[in-house]
Every structure is written in structure tokens, then in C-alpha cells.
Chain A
Amino acid sequence: MGKDKGMMPWQEVPFGLYILEPGNSAEFKTGNWRSMRPVLDKDKCIKCGTCYIMCPDMCYDQRDEEGYYLVNLYYCKGCGICMATCPKGAITMVMEEV
């Protein structure tokens, strides 16, 4: 269940904490662990897709109409692997604001 959806009182905890709908890990919001967020400089980006390949959480699975890879901040934990592996240095990590 999504962390943003699973904050139920103990009386509503599912039996044995079972998960009855298969594949619902996609609902699990991991983005709120993040302290740094990746920001793309489109002038440097060559749309090679290294970020898409390297992201351990598959956050770059969407592209905009121009073909740039978009980071999904619902899941992005801010690990910085995209920044470290970008061949053009097009991604920088910036501090999340509280």
C-alpha cells in the first residue's frame, strides 16, 4: 500500500498485514525519503537514456513530447545515480526544500 494511503488506525489494519491486491508496490510512495532531487539541463541532454537505464527505481520511464526523459518524483529517492552516470553532466542534484 502507498505510504500516503496506508496510514490507517490499528482497527483497520488488514488481517495479518496481508496484501490482497497483487502488484500494488507501484502505489508505494518512496519519493518522500528524498533530500536531493535531480534537475535536468536540457541544453546538455542528448536523450541517450542512460538515466533511464541506470535508475534503480525506474523513475525515468516517461518521456516528454520532445523525447527528454522525465523523472517521476513519486518514487525518486534522490540517490544521485542518474547524475553520476550522465555522460554529458546534464543532471545536477539540488537540495529539496522543506
Chain B
Amino acid sequence: MGKRIAKEVSIAIADAVKLAKAEVIAAYPITPQTHIVEHLSELVANGELDAEYITVESEHSAMSAAIGAVATGARTFTSTAAQGLALMHEMLFIASAMRLPVVMVVANRALSAPISIWNDHSDIMANRDIGWIQVWAENGQEAVDLTIQAFRIAEDKNVMFPIIVNIDGFVLSHVIEPIILPDQEEVDAFLPAFKPKYKLDPRKPITMGPVGVPEIYFEAKKAQDEAFRNTPKVIKRVWKDWAKRFGREYNAVETYRMEDAEVALLIMGSLAETAMTAVDKMRDEGKKVGLVRIRLWRPFPVQEFRRAVSKVPVLAVIDRAMPPGAVNGPVATEVKAALYNAGRKPRVVNFIAGLGGRDVTVEDFEEMAERAAFYRKKRPKELYETIGVRES
């Protein structure tokens, strides 16, 4: 077992990619992802990581190069944020539909305009339907663990889909945390070499990405979705194996102090840890508050989620992206869709908080829990409520 040491999370993620023995890295630097790919380029330049580091002229090219690299059977990593993820957009659908297991860390950041380099979830929420597995880290250790796991999950023969590990920009990417990096032998034992059944090889030519005429496109998309919806079986098996080897557990839906809860908060990403502090404080005051986090955002774990919230009367869903003209924020929209046909379900109240790097404090979570409790007996009038916005 590796030692617990203080490390910047971005550097630790790069070290995790090195431990996973990535063979190709194609990346374009963008705040707040920069330190991850900067450190990887250092590792490659110093000969510490035997990989091809492709410097590209844009994120569109980064994803294109990553797709090409993984298609040849090379373990491939990239990373981006915000505008960079937006620029990759069209290529992201291609990676998933062509079953190419690229591993990507997204250091979540607000989309412009106004220009913002700070953290929220608007970048990834604009990419919900790209067909990538999407998981969320709440702290540096999880970011490292999920990055190593991502290779094994994505490259499993029963998965073969690309995967995004979401980490909050700055809040996670730029902080120094105590992190255990596993030993190389431990990672080697956990992560087998990438051996895809099909790859681009001039000795055995195949075609990837042919045209899908109207007679076959629909069947191809149905086949893709069915295969995608089957991936949680492997994801859960990998998490079980990880827990056995490293003692840290991961679940598609994580719950905290949900027993007898009368109000539950729901959030994804690093703010979940602030929310836990708020839950502890409120529990100490005798308030029955719990917390739900969706670790596996895609494919959405409908059954686990329904089970997790079946007994709580009110659920406060905290979105970190503004939904212009939509009914709710993206997470609340998803959650409501998952619950609409469920037997026992809570009332859902939607809060929008923490946009563009705005802090969300323990007190803010307390306020959200209190407002949500108020709606236990009364329907909310507004589609969503904002937290922390100055008003005249």
C-alpha cells in the first residue's frame, strides 16, 4: 500500500495516469485542467512515462487524436474543461458510438459568457447525452481512485465505452490534499493491459465509422444504448474489486445519514463534502437531514436512486448549471424523470447554487434544507430557487 502524502490533486491525477501506464496522451492545456497535462508532459519528457504525448492545436484535435490513438489499441488519456469540452463536443459522440474507450478527466468549469475560469457544472451538463460513462469525484483521493478505475471500466470487453471523471475545477484540481497513491504492483494487479478485440491495424484492415444509412442508423443507435445501459454491471464489479484491494468503497448512488431523514439534499461533486458538514451540524441540532450524491451520472442508476430516496418526504436537488428556459436545472430534471413513475417518491425542490465559482457554504446548505423542509407541506411556487444571488 502506498503512503499517504500531501499532493496537489492535479499532480496526483497525472501520477495516477502514469500508474495506469497510459500509452498516448493527446491534450490541449486549459485552466483549470492545465496542471494535469503539464505534469503528464513532464513525466513523458523525463522518460518516467513511456507514452506518446501528442501536442495538438485545439481540444477538437485532442479528442480526434485520442479517438485515433485508442482505435489502434493504445491506452489513451486526455483532459479538458469548459470551452475545451465544448470544442470537443462533436467528437465526443463519435468516441462513444464507435466504442472507443478514451479516459478523460474534466476539471469542471463554467462556460462563457461572461468569461469565467471558475468552477461550476455547466460544461459537463451540456454534455449529458454524449454516450460517455460519467462519474464524479468529491475529493482528491476519489479523483485518483476513479482515474485508475476508469481505464479498467472503459476498456473492459463488456464495456468498451469512453469515460469522464468529473473533478471540480480549482476546488479539487488546485488544492493540496492527503492522498494515497497505490504502488505500481498494486495497480498492475488491478488493471490488465488493454487488448481490444478490434483495432486499426494495416495487417488486418477493418473500417470504423462507416456511414449509417437510414436502414441501419436506428438499429446501430439502439444497439449502442443497450450496450451502454449494461455497463453498470461491470462498473459495480470493478468497484467491488477496488474495495477489496484498496479498502475504499464506491457506489452508483452514495448516501449519508439518510436513515429516518425528513429532508434530503442532493448534490454532485466536491460540494458534497461541505453538504456533509452541514448535515452533521443539523443532525447535532436534532434536525433529520440526509444527503444523496449521484456518483454514476451516466448511465443514470435509476433503481438505486429510487431506492435511496423512497422514504424521504422532500428532496432538495442542487444544480450547479443555469438552465435557460428549462423546467428545472439538469440534475433536477433528470431526478424528476427518474421519480415520476416510481411508487414512493419525495417532493422535489430545485436550487441553483455555486455558479461560476460562487462559494456555497455550510450555512447555504442549512438554508436549502430549511427551505426544503418548508415545502414538505406546501408546493413550491417557483420552478427553481437561487442560493447566494444578490437581489435589490
A contact set with B: CB distance below 8 Å: 3, 6-11, 13, 15-20, 22
25 contacts between A and B (CB under 8 A): A3-B215, A6-B215, A6-B216, A7-B216, A8-B216, A8-B219, A10-B222, A10-B223, A13-B216, A13-B219, A13-B220, A15-B99, A16-B98, A16-B99, A16-B160, A16-B208, A17-B97, A17-B210, A17-B212, A18-B198, A18-B208, A19-B210, A20-B198, A22-B205, A22-B206
Would you give the shortest CB distance from A12 to chain B, in whole angstroms?
8
Q: How far is the CA of A3 from the CA of B213 in the complex (A)?
A: 9
A16 and B198 contact, Cβ closer than 8 Å, known pairs A3-B213, A6-B215, A10-B219 = yes
Closest partner residue, chain B, to A7 (CB atom):
B215
Chain B binding surface SS class: loop
Is B226 an interface residue, CB under 8 A from the partner?
A: yes
Interface presence of B197 (CB below 8 A): yes
Chain B's closest residue to A1 (CB) is: B216
Within 8 Å by CB of B206, from A8, A9, A20, lies A20
Chain B 137-176 interface 0/1 with A at a Cβ cutoff of 8 Å (1 = within): 0000000000000000000000010000000000000000
Binding site secondary structure of chain A: loop
For residue A22, give the distance in angstroms from its CB to the closest CB of chain B. 5
**A3 to B, closest residue via Cβ:** B215
Complex CA distance for A34 and B215, rounded to whole angstroms: 17
Give the distance to chain A from B259, nearest Cβ to Cβ, in Å: 43
Chain A: CB-nearest residue to B220: A17
Chain A residues with CB under 8 Å of B205's CB are 22
Give min CB distance, B109 to chain A, whole Å: 31
- Enumerate B205-235 residues with CB–CB distance to A below 8 Å: 205-210, 212-213, 215-216, 218-220, 222-223, 226
Contact mask B108-129 → A, CB, 8 Å, 1/0? 0000000000000000000000
Most buried by A among B160, B223, B226: B223
Given A3-B213, A6-B215, A19-B206, A13:B223 Cβ within 8 A: yes
CA distance A19 to B212 in the complex (A): 12
CB distance from B178 to the nearest CB of A (A): 41
For the complex formed, measure the closest distance between the CB of B68 and the CB atoms of chain A, giving whole angstroms: 14
What's the minimum C-beta distance from A19 to chain B, rounded to whole angstroms? 4
Tell me the residues in window 324-341 of chain B with beta carbons closer than 8 Å to chain A beta carbons. none
Given contacts A16-B100, A17-B97, A22-B205, 9 further A-B contacts (CB under 8 A): A6-B215, A7-B216, A8-B219, A9-B219, A13-B219, A13-B220, A15-B99, A16-B99, A16-B208
